[in-house]
Amino acid sequence: MSDVARIEIEEFREEVRNWFTENKPQDPGFLLPETFMEVGTDEQFEFLRDWQRKVYEAGYIGISWPKDYGGGGRPQIFQDIATREMVTQRVPFMPNTIGLNWAGPLILKVGTEENKRKYIKNILSAEDIWCQGFSEPEAGSDLGNTRCSARRDGDDYIINGSKIWTSLGTYAKYMILLARTSKEKSSKYAGLSFFLAPMGVDGIDPEPIQKLTGEYGFCQTFFDDARIPADCLMGEEGDGWKTAMITLTFERGASGGQAGGTSMMELNAYDVLELARRVRRNGKLAIEDTYVREKLVSFLIEFRGNQLMSAREKVPGLTGDWPGAVSLSGKLRNTELRRRLTQFSLSLMGANAARFVSENSVDGGKWQRSYLNSFSATIGGGTSEIQHNIVGERVLGLPKD
């Protein structure tokens, strides 16, 4: 790296740090969702959308996306710095995650020039919220089992069936939709097609589903003879599986190109350590309990291991025997750690662990809610079991099951 570049980067780091320090939003006075998969009320949504718009306008997301379409046109390292700062300063996450991190990079990679001009800028500004219509009641892990149908009729496709677990379904303007255009193909994957579908047409009805916490946050999206323009088709008819797989490489962080920003509230082992210093388990401060101390140390080691992995993987010579091991296991490692950490956090509180969101609970019940919500990420986006299969097969080269 040249000295000029180094100086430019250092200046940028400083600038970003100052901007987030000055512009970090105040506590809104209501509980925020913990991930983009749990935006359940209008006030939560508006708050987060305003925040994303503000960050975009300041120039801190989409930094590496092309200028022509609304991005910053700068090297990836600037985005990495900005995102890192958002994590460090614990600012709210970007609600339009599906647009920023999977639909957006997908469009930039395989979309037409017209797609890019139409969609990219509004993804960044949160003007257009995107959702994902992949899972169905009978097709989750086994996505190839998709049944929702799209039938060509003149200049339209007519969509029938339903998609489920649609995060942000009621707020979205567009959906990346996987649907079956033919039933007569050799394999179940061959008859699928991929659409950039508008949500605002007649016959599309997202119905909120109540989550295990009692809140809302995702939907079942019903399609009843919904007509969408034929030019919503991405790629060729019958090529949908391929496009869906490219989308998943973005979703799983296996390929770069995302717009940056965070998609969930930061929560790590140090937060639980801090909690242990101020709550009581069976009469004494949790941090004084031998069981708690032992577990905390293990969590701190695991958390640091995760952090160091990304650093080590970039060092020439230390990349390791198994290419892709670190990036492809990222979702599995981080989400499972979060689940176990929040589960453990409850054990610090003694009998008070049995409370839920209310004034009398430790931190208003945030930890109980966090534990229940942690499963959003160990299930959504491909379950941990499926992640194990992916890493075992793609990284270790073990045979498919």
Partner from another protein, ligand FAD, none binding residue 73, C-beta < 5-8 Å depending on class: none
* Joined tokens for residue 34: 């913990």
DSSP 98: I
CB of 76 to ligand FAD, least distance (A): 26
Whether 46 is catalytic is no
Of 1, 57, 7, 51, nearest in space to 26 by CA: 51
Residue number with CB closer to another protein (24 or 312): 312
Question: Toward another protein, which CB reaches closer, 212 or 398?
Answer: 398
- Give dist(CA 195, CA 146) in Å, integer: 14
Strand partners, 151: 158
Going residue by residue from 289 to 308, which x/- string records binding to another protein, judged by CB under 8 A?
----xx-xxx-xxx-xxxxx
Of 91, 259, 332, 362, the one binding another protein by CB under 8 A: 332
In the list ligand FAD, another protein, none, the entry touching 315 (Cβ below 5 to 8 angstroms by class) is another protein
Which of another protein, ligand FAD, none is residue 21 near (CB under 5 to 8 Å by kind)? none
Q: How far is CA 40 from CA 43, 44, 278, in A?
A: 9, 7, 31
CB 346 within 8 A of CB 340: no
The reply to whether 129 sits near another protein by the rule CB under 8 A is: no
Number of residues near another protein (by CB under 8 A) = 43
Question: Among 383, 392, 394, 395, which residue sits at the site for ligand FAD (rule: CB under 6 A)?
Answer: 383
- Closest residue to bound ligand FAD by CB: 140
How many angstroms separate the CA atoms of 309 and 95, rounded?
27
Beta strands in 148-242 (DSSP E): 149-153, 156-167, 174-180, 192-198, 204-210, 216-229, 233-234
Establish if 145 lies at the interface with ligand FAD (CB under 6 A).
no
Q: Out of ligand FAD, another protein, none, which partner does residue 37 contact, by CB within 5 to 8 A per kind? A: ligand FAD
Dihedrals phi, psi of 361, to nearest 5 degrees: -85, 155
Q: Does 380 contact ligand FAD by CB under 6 A? A: yes
Of another protein, ligand FAD, none, which one sits near residue 140, judging by CB under 5 to 8 A according to partner kind?
Answer: ligand FAD
For ligand FAD, give the closer residue by CB, 219 or 348: 219
Q: Quote the least distance from Cβ 333 to another protein, whole Å.
A: 6
Contact pattern for another protein over residues 240 through 279, marking x by CB under 8 A: ---------------------------------x------
Helix, strand, coil abundance in the chain, percent, nearest 5: 50, 15, 35
Q: Smaller CB distance to ligand FAD: residue 171 or 218?
A: 218
Give one word for 133, left, alpha or beta, with left for phi > 0 and alpha for psi -120 to 50.
Answer: beta
**C-alpha count within 13 angstroms, C-beta hemisphere, residue 178:** 31
Name the segment binding ligand FAD (CB under 6 A); options: 184-192, 202-210, 296-304, 378-386: 378-386
Q: Which of 109, 333, 340, 355 binds another protein (CB under 8 A)?
A: 333
Closest by CA to 281, choosing from 366, 354, 339, is 354
Active-site entry in 15, 22, 251, 274:
251
Distance CA 245, CA 242 (A): 5
300 binds, among another protein, ligand FAD, none (CB under 5 to 8 A by kind): another protein
Give the other-Cβ count within 10 Å of 10's Cβ.
11
- Backbone Cα Rg of the chain: 22
Written as six digits, the tokens of 366 are 């945030």
Residue list 31-50, contact with ligand FAD (CB under 6 A): 37
The answer to whether residues 273 and 279 touch, using CB atoms and an 8 Å cutoff, is no
Q: Which of 98, 105, 117 is nearest to 64 (CA)?
A: 105
What is the C-alpha separation between 335 and 337, in angstroms, rounded? 5
Q: Which residues bind ligand FAD (CB under 6 A)?
A: 37, 131-135, 140-141, 165-167, 218, 376, 379-383, 385-386, 389
Question: Which residues carry out catalysis?
Answer: 251
Q: Which residues bind another protein (CB under 8 A)?
A: 273, 287, 293-294, 296-298, 300-302, 304-309, 311-312, 315-318, 320-322, 325-326, 329, 332-333, 385, 388-389, 391-393, 395-401
